[in-house]
Structure formats: structure tokens, C-alpha cells
Amino acid sequence: MREAVISSDGVRLVLRVMAYERPTLGTGADANWVTGEAEMTISGGDVFRAHRGVAFRAEQLARFRDDLRRLLADLEGEAILDHMEDEVGCTIRLRKGTGELDAFIRQHVPFVELRVHGVPTDQSYLQETLRQLDALVAEFPVKGVALG
């Protein structure tokens, strides 16, 4: 299992990946699904927590890692974690090294969601996240040709 933690003031979003869903596949649309889970904790007086199993696409995790690397190099722009099934998401925006984090974990049926918007963050939080995402993507690289 490998995890990456995205944190900011009072918010912690953890992405965990356990294994490829179909480890024997080397290419094709189903080769890059990985099983995992997402957990978000919000603290600041009261504590709110959401946790759920999710299936990620390896290329989406790699794209988020690449966006985060560019964001930290430029200290401007945004990095977005898109999830094909829209069960977890994260957007980090920086301007001159400081910015905001939006994140959510959602269950569609019944519809429940834990979401934060505009939580202060800065480059100091994100350096460790990038290191963890590098390790995660190295352990679960994109196989064959990624989906668009």
C-alpha cells in the first residue's frame, strides 16, 4: 500500500492505493485501474471525517503529480485531481506560493458529501505531498497507453 497526503490548515486528504485491479493486464482500458481509498479529516474545533473505498486511474494520479510538480516549480497556477467516478477530488491554487485548497469525498447513493472550499495552503504543505505522489506513481505507473 502507498499513500499520499494532501494537507493544509485544518484539512487532511489521504489517497491510498493498494494494488492494480487487474495486475495481469499490461495495456488496454482496464490495465490502469487501481484499488484504493480516500479519507478526509477536517479539524478546527469540531472534527469531521469521511472515508471510502475508491478505484483510481493510474494516469489521473500521474497527471495530478505532474500538475503539482509544475505548480511548485512556478508557485503559480493550479493542480487538479480529477476522479473518473467523481467520488474524490482536489484542486490546489497558488499565487506567489500561497493559495487555496478545495477538496471533497462523495458517495452518490445515498448522496452524502464532505467538502471544503478555499482553505488556506502554501508551498510548504505541498513539498511532502509531491514526494509521496512520486513514490505512489513509481509503484503504480501507467501501463501501456493511458486514456485521454
pLDDT tens sequence across 96-143: 999 999 999 999 989 999 999 999 999 999 999 999 999 999 999 999
Q: Could you tell me if residue 98 is inside a domain?
A: yes
- Say yes or no to pLDDT of 148 above 60: no
Q: What is the CATH number of the domain that holds 65?
A: 2.30.31
**Which class for 52: exposed (0-12), middle (13-18), buried (19 or more C-beta within 10 A)?**
middle
CA distance 21 to 34: 5
Q: Could you tell me if residue 46 is inside a domain?
A: yes
User: What are the cell numbers at 143?
Assistant: 501501463
Q: Could you tell me if residue 20 is inside a domain?
A: yes
Per-residue pLDDT, 141: 96
Quickly state the pLDDT bin for 95 (edges 50, 70, 90): very high
More confident residue, 109 or 61: 61
Q: Could you tell me if residue 61 is inside a domain?
A: yes
CA distance 39 to 52: 7
User: What is the domain range of residue 122?
Assistant: 2-139
Number of Cβ within a 10 Å radius of residue 124: 9
Q: Rounded to a whole number, what is the largest CA-CA distance in the chain?
A: 48
For residue 111, the 8-state DSSP code is T
Domain count of the chain? 1
Q: Could you tell me if residue 144 is inside a domain?
A: no
Per-residue pLDDT, 43: 95
Per-residue pLDDT, 45: 86
Q: Could you tell me if residue 148 is inside a domain?
A: no
Mean pLDDT of 73-79: 97
